[in-house]
């Protein structure tokens, strides 16, 4: 199959599991069936916001959802029926080192739900060393090979958390880390993943403050004849102003085709609904407003 993806892609991401359960609902440990239903209903509300946005006339071929199997209920089926692009996670939630959510049965679950994109979230810092990174790389290569052997697309969310030494070098200032160190580390991480034979169709990457860094990242993603490989920007739960800036840097760069943003769009609306401050329909419309606004910001910057 041809590596990469052709077309714009605006993904509403709500595949959060462990963090969603604990931080939004305050539920620790394994949820009861009643708690699971409450969490799943929160995801249904987010999806209702997505459907409200799609009803405003956007082409569904560019619109997508990223939702999990654990709490997603019938959302994957409904997304496909609505003509939306469907992405689903493969990774076990809340792990510092990537592993499969369903172990040896990962292929069965992908086949059952038949998503357009199979997604992983990977924390990978090239300075972490082989003991941490090599097991991830081996598992990721296995997944990438399986996906492409089965004519499926691979969506790779790369996070590059600072090591203690890196953070100390910027006096513990995470903003300085993001600006001064992370862009180079991201380029190195992508190169190492590629060198291990892990072939990715769409890189979901953290925003950077300079357009030149977006250009370097896109160039590395397409290095070695990977001309069809593309990037989408993630939101990291940042406020609108920060995400707007990241979008403005990325959108004009050849190789970027959209975004995959989650908490920055739906967190406040869902929290307001759960607190009783927003009616359900109003919360859904607020989610739709946030999602479509980011599309408009991205398009205006292209």
174, part of any domain: yes
Instruction: Please tell me the predicted confidence (pLDDT) of residue 126.
Output: 95
pLDDT of residue 55: 94
Q: How confident is the model at residue 220 (pLDDT cuts 50, 70, 90)?
A: very high
By mean pLDDT, which of 38-52, 54-68, 163-177, 250-264 is the weakest?
54-68
Domain membership of residue 93 as a residue range: 9-301
Mean pLDDT, to the nearest integer, of 28-50?
Answer: 95
Each residue of 87-131: pLDDT tens digit?
Answer: 999 998 888 888 888 888 899 999 999 999 999 999 999 999 878
High-pLDDT (> 70) share of the chain, %:
100
pLDDT of 175 above 80 = yes
Amino acid 101: pLDDT: 85
Rounded to the nearest 5°, which phi and psi values hold at 129?
95, 165
- Asked if pLDDT for residue 1 goes beyond 80, the answer is no
pLDDT at 191 over 90: yes
159: phi then psi, degrees, rounded to nearest 5: -115, 140
pLDDT at residue 97, rounded to an integer: 87
Task: List the CATH number of the domain containing 262.
Answer: 3.20.20.70
Phi, psi of 234 (to 5 degrees): -100, 165
**Which of the residue ranges 28-32, 65-69, 169-173, 282-286 would you say has the lowest mean pLDDT?**
28-32
Residue 62 DSSP class: G
Report yes or no: 52 and 285 within 8 Å, Cβ to Cβ: yes
Question: What value does the mean pLDDT take over residues 232-254?
Answer: 95
Q: What is the pLDDT of residue 103?
A: 81
> Which pLDDT belongs to residue 44?
97
Give the 3-state secondary structure of residue 284. helix
In a domain, 244, yes or no: yes
What pLDDT was estimated at residue 87? 97
Q: Tell me if 209 is assigned to some domain.
A: yes
What is the rounded (10 degree) CA torsion for 189, 198, 112, 86?
Answer: 50
Q: What is the mean pLDDT of the chain?
A: 95
- State mean pLDDT over 48-70: 92
Q: Residue 256: its pLDDT value, please? A: 98
d(CA 52, CA 59): 13
Residues in the chain: 302
* Per-residue model confidence (pLDDT) at position 130: 78
pTM of the model: 0.95
The C-alpha atoms of residue 124 and residue 121 are separated, in whole angstroms, by 10
Is residue 163 one of the residues assigned to a domain? yes
Least confident of 78-82, 126-130, 182-186: 126-130
SS3 133: helix
> Where are the alpha helices (H) located in the chain, listed in sequence order?
18-19, 33-54, 69-72, 75-81, 106-113, 130-149, 164-169, 174-176, 182-195, 211-221, 240-250, 263-274, 280-301
In the chain, the percentage of residues whose pLDDT exceeds 90 is 88
Residue 251 lies in a domain: yes
Domain count, the chain: 1
Element (H, E) at 64: strand 63-67
Domain presence at residue 3: no
Residue 122 · residue 158 · CB < 8 Å: yes
pLDDT, residue 48, reads 98
pLDDT > 80? residue 219 = yes
pLDDT number for residue 89: 95
For residue 280, tell me if it sits in a domain.
yes
Does 148 fall in a domain? yes
């Amino acid at each position: 199959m041809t590596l990469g993806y052709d077309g714009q892609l605006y993904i509403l991401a709500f595949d959060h599991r462990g963090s969603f359960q604990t931080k939004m609902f305050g539920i620790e440990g394994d949820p009861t069936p009643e708690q699971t239903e409450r969490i799943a209903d929160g995801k249904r509300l987010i999806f209702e916001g997505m459907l409200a946005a799609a009803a405003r006339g956007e082409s569904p071929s560019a619109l997508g959802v990223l939702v999990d199997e654990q709490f997603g209920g019938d959302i994957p089926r409904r997304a496909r029926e609505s003509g939306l692009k469907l992405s689903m996670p493969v990774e076990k939630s809340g792990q510092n080192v990537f592993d499969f959510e369903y172990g040896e049965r990962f292929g069965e679950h992908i086949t059952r739900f038949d998503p357009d994109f199979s997604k992983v979230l990977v924390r990978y810092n090239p300075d972490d060393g082989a003991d941490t990174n090599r097991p991830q790389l081996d598992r990721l290569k296995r997944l990438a090979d399986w996906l492409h052997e089965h004519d499926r697309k691979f969506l790779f969310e790369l996070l590059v958390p600072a090591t203690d030494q890196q953070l100390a070098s910027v006096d513990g200032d995470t903003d300085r880390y993001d600006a001064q160190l992370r862009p180079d580390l991201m380029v190195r991480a992508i190169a190492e993943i590629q060198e291990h034979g892990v072939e990715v169709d769409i890189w979901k990457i953290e925003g950077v403050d300079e357009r030149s860094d977006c250009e370097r990242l896109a160039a590395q993603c397409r290095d070695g004849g990977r001309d069809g490989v593309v990037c989408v920007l993630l939101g990291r739960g940042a406020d609108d102003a920060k995400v707007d800036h990241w979008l403005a840097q990325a959108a004009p760069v050849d190789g970027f085709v959209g975004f995959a943003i989650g908490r920055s769009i739906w967190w406040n609306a869902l929290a307001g609904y759960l607190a009783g401050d927003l009616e359900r329909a109003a919360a859904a419309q607020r989610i739709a407003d946030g999602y479509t606004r980011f599309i408009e910001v991205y398009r205006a910057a292209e």
